[in-house]
Amino acid sequence: MRIVFAALVAVPLIALASTLATGQQSRAADPGETAYQEACASCHRTPTRFMRRFVDLSQAERQVALDDFLKTHHAEDPGKRAAIIAWLEANHVRR
């Protein structure tokens, strides 16, 4: 009886732990967020303040302005810049 009870408790706990770990991995696996953490976060903990200067631009203008800014601001790699811009557009632009 104890074995059955232990199995009934353990299976849902394992499923919950797996779900939580998967959710954490998917958030941490975003290449734009990772690139932001590597290139920007030491000075800009969150993008909220520096994104203010781009808020009134159209999406196309904002992407060009962000690319120009990042070229000279610790993100020289075009792939890294593109990932950061995509992440910012998806997560830090008020619509």
Query: CA 9 to CA 13: how far, in whole Å?
Result: 7
Q: What pLDDT sits at residue 16?
A: 47
Confidence band of 27 (pLDDT split at 50, 70, 90):
low
Domain count, the chain: 1
- Enclosing domain of residue 69: 2-91
Q: What value does the mean pLDDT take over residues 85-89?
A: 95
Q: What pLDDT sits at residue 85?
A: 96
Crossing angle (nearest 10°) for helices 31-39 and 78-91: 110
